[in-house]
């Protein structure tokens, strides 16, 4: 079904003299010539570029305190010219659930280039330096990011690794199919900050439930609670509903807000859900039932739920919720052998993959992956390849989402041994689907 395309368009260029990744011999000069690359000094340094790149980035002291608290300057890069910062890339050390358990993962965010410095290769050079540094330091084997536009990062070997579904449940479609017994659960609504301990306890208990979930310390929790007035769009403050059992034990919570709205003198408030986590199906159903039954509410919506959210199974009429699927997290193997050995597989797998990777050339070549539900090893091999693919396609299935069969049918993965595609696809896929809970 055709051969896979290459994931990169050749090596990046640069003349960096700072503390970013080393410039390989022969690659100095070129499109990013004339710029200095170095580690970031602090979060404040990103401000001017983000302001220009995103058309007015909030500079409030409150937001700077929240974003600055999770910022890791030593992992973050800037490109400068004439002493001024022109481009930024933030790096984060995260712990993410992969199929099989938690693993260290490198988060990348705030990739931004001031408009007057665009299309000169600065983004490419920042990404290349960040990935090369992770490789040379044998740091996190997997890199992940959220992308403002889906077309940007495939060329750098990042594949769409998780999807989300947006829903909007209208008042007339709130009926539930027979769900779990929710008697005995009670809800309490207030400020997320007051519910901090319950939220942290429930979230931590849910971490192992899905690939893609990221551990949150105090600073990341403050980030999850951030309630910037400019993001409310006329809605009220962020609220937290905690579901507790008879003994007062926190079993689940929802973060949401309400925006006043009246139609023909009738209340049709918009209720938008930011986050829902529950320890068990009863608490999950109870929270959604309570959100859907909120007085004054018209449509109850959520912009980003897991693609296999149980809510869609609970609703009598999921079609009316107009589920809309989109890409969410992008992932790539920094070091292919370590990345594939960092997770487990849903079925026994033994496959030789011929991988093309222009951005991280140390990954290119033939690899044998052998493993199953208890773990895996991945080593270089001279054996004949069963599958041929690029780093982008591998990234798309790294967290257990995506489908090698689908990518094969699209002509993006080539099956070289009959049966290898289907077998590898079943092994890579994970149930439940990956979903990332943290914006970075």
Ligand X SMILES: CC(C)(COP(=O)(O)OP(=O)(O)OC[C@H]1O[C@@H](n2cnc3c(N)ncnc32)[C@H](O)[C@@H]1OP(=O)(O)O)[C@@H](O)C(=O)NCCC(=O)NCCS
Q: Is 269 a catalytic residue?
A: no
Q: Annotate 30-97 with DSSP letters as a single string.
A: STTTT-EEEE---GGGGHHHHHHHTTS----HHHHHHHHHH--GGG-EEEEETTEEEEEEEEEEEEEE
275 φ, ψ to 5°? Answer: -155, 140
**CB-nearer residue toward ligand X: 384 or 439:** 439
Residues 6+ apart with CB under 8 A from 10: 358
> Binding to ligand X by residue 122, rule CB under 6 A?
yes
Nearer to ligand X, 74 or 119 (CB): 119
Give dist(CA 344, CA 326) in Å, integer.
Answer: 26
Does position 130 bind ligand X by CB under 6 A?
no
**Which regions of 307-362 does DSSP assign to beta strands (E)?**
324-327, 329-333, 349-356
Considering only residues 52 to 71 of the shown chain, the ones binding ligand X according to CB under 6 A are 53
CA distances (Å), 163 to each of 308, 327, 408, in order?
9, 4, 19
Question: How many residues form the binding site for ligand X (CB under 6 A)?
Answer: 18
Report the candidate in 27, 17, 25 with the shortest Cα–Cα distance to residue 124: 27
Please name which of 26, 22, 51, 24 lies closest in space to residue 37, comparing C-alpha atoms: 22
Work out whether 120 is an interface residue with ligand X (CB under 6 A).
yes
> Under the criterion CB under 6 A, does residue 259 sit at the interface with ligand X?
no
Q: Which of residues 51 and 226 has its CB atom nearest to ligand X in the complex? A: 51
Position among 124, 128, 251, 356 found at the interface with ligand X (CB under 6 A):
124
Near ligand X by CB under 6 A, which window of 151-159, 210-218, 284-292, 296-304? 151-159
Residue of 5, 63, 81, 118 interacting with ligand X (CB under 6 A) = 118
Which of 119-127, 185-193, 303-311, 364-372 is the region at the interface with ligand X (rule: CB under 6 A)? Answer: 119-127
Q: Out of 14, 16, 107, 121, point to the residue binding ligand X (CB under 6 A).
A: 121
Which of the stretches 57-65, 144-152, 257-265, 394-402 binds ligand X when contact is defined by CB under 6 A?
Answer: 144-152
Query: Residue 322: left (phi > 0), alpha (psi -120 to 50), or beta?
Result: left
DSSP state of 176: B
Nearer to ligand X, 147 or 182 (CB): 147
Shortest Cβ 106–ligand X spacing (Å):
15
Q: Enumerate residues 6+ apart whose C-beta is below 8 A from 264.
A: none
331 or 351: CB nearest ligand X: 331
Told to judge if 92 belongs to the known catalytic residues of this protein, a careful annotator would answer no
- Cβ-based nearer residue to ligand X, 126 or 407: 126
Please give the residues from 7 up to 26 whose contact with ligand X meets the rule CB under 6 A: 9
The DSSP string of 404-426 is HHHHHHTTSSEESSTTHHHHHHH
Instruction: Name the minimum Å distance from CB 398 to ligand X.
Output: 18
Which is nearer to ligand X, 4 or 121 (by Cβ)? 121
123, 133, 271, 336: residue in contact with ligand X (rule CB under 6 A): 123
CA-based radius of gyration for the chain: 23
Residue among 110, 153, 284, 435 flagged as catalytic: 153
Rule CB under 6 A: choose which of 61, 82, 119, 247 binds ligand X.
119
Distance of closest approach, residue 218 Cβ to ligand X, in angstroms: 26
Residue 406 and residue 326: Cα distance in Å, rounded?
16
Q: Which of 157, 161, 124 is nearest to 360 (CA)?
A: 157
Give me the least distance between CB of 70 and ligand X, in Å please: 17
Residue of the chain from 152, 205, 219, 347 that contacts ligand X (CB under 6 A): 152
Write out the binding residues for ligand X, residues 86-115 only, by CB under 6 A. 111-113
Cα–Cα–Cα angle for 271, 193, 197, rounded to 5 degrees: 110
Q: Contact positions toward ligand X, by CB under 6 A?
A: 9, 53, 111-113, 118-124, 147-149, 151-152, 155
Catalytic residue numbers? 153, 440
């Amino acid at each position: 079904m055709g051969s896979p395309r290459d994931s990169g368009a050749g090596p990046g260029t640069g003349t960096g003299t700072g503390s970013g990744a080393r410039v390989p011999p022969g690659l100095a000069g070129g499109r990013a010539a004339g710029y200095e690359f170095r580690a970031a000094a602090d979060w404040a340094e990103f401000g001017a570029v983000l302001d220009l790149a995103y058309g007015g980035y909030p500079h409030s002291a409150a937001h700077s305190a929240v974003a600055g608290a999770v910022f890791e300057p030593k992992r973050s890069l800037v490109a400068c010219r004439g002493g001024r910062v022109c481009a930024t890339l933030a790096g984060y050390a995260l712990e993410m659930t992969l199929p099989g358990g938690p693993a260290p993962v490198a988060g990348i965010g705030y990739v931004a280039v001031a408009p007057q410095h665009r299309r000169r290769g600065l983004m490419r050079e920042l990404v290349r330096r960040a990935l090369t540094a992770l490789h040379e330091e044998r740091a996190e084997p997997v890199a992940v990011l959220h992308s403002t536009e889906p077309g940007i990062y495939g060329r750098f070997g990042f594949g769409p690794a998780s999807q989300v579904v947006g829903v909007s449940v209208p008042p007339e479609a709130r009926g539930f199919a027979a769900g779990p017994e929710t008697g005995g659960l009670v809800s309490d609504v207030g400020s997320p900050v007051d519910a901090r301990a319950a939220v942290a306890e429930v979230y931590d208990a849910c971490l192992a439930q899905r690939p893609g979930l990221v551990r949150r310390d105090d600073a990341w929790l403050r980030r999850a609670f951030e309630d910037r007035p400019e993001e409310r769009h006329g809605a009220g403050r962020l609220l937290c509903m905690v579901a507790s059992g008879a003994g007062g034990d926190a079993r689940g919570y929802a973060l949401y807000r309400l925006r006043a709205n009246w139609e023909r003198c009738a209340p049709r408030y918009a209720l938008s859900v930011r986050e829902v986590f529950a320890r068990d199906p009863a608490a999950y159903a109870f929270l959604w039932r309570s959100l859907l039954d909120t007085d004054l509410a018209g449509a109850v919506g959520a912009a980003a739920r897991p693609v296999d959210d149980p809510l869609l199974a609970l609703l009598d009429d999921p079609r009316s919720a107009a589920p809309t699927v989109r890409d969410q997290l992008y992932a790539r193997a920094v070091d292919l052998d370590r990345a594939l050995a960092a997770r487990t597989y849903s079925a026994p797998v033994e496959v030789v993959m011929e991988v093309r990777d222009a951005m991280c050339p140390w990954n290119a070549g033939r690899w044998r992956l052998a493993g199953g539900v208890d773990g895996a090893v991945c080593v270089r091999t001279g054996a004949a390849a069963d599958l041929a693919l690029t780093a982008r396609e591998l990234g798309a299935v790294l967290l257990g989402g995506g489908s090698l069969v689908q990518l094969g049918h699209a002509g993006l993965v080539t099956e070289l041994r009959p049966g290898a595609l289907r077998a590898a696809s079943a092994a890579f896929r994970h149930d439940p689907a990956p979903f990332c809970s943290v914006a970075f």
